[in-house]
A = this chain, B = another copy of it.
Amino acid sequence: MSDQGRRPTRLGETGLEGFAPYLMNRIMGRYNAEVRAALGQNGLSTPKMRALAVLSVVPAPLIRELAVYAVTEQSTLSRALDQLEAEGLVRREADASDSRATRIHITAAGLAVFEGLWPHMIDAQDTMFRDISDDERQAFLGTLQKMLRNIRKHEF
Which residues of A are in contact with B by a Cβ distance under 8 Å? 2-3, 8-12, 15-32, 53-54, 56-58, 69, 71, 118-119, 121-122, 124-134, 136-137, 139-141, 143-148, 150-153
Contacts and interface: CB of A to CB of B under 8 A. Distances in A.
Contacts of A27: 24, 144, 147-148, 151
A99 B145 CA distance: 48
B23 A25 contact: no
State the number of copies, please.
2
Contacts of A121: 19, 21
Query: Which label, helix, strand, loop or mixed, suits the secondary structure of the A interface?
Result: helix
Q: List the 6 closest A-B pairs by CB distance, nearest first.
A: A29-B71, A23-B144, A30-B151, A140-B143, A130-B150, A128-B147
A69 to B, nearest CB: 7
Given A28-B21, A122-B9, A129 B145 contact: no
Nearest to A20: B141
Given A53-B11, A143-B132, A150-B129, A28 B25 contact: yes
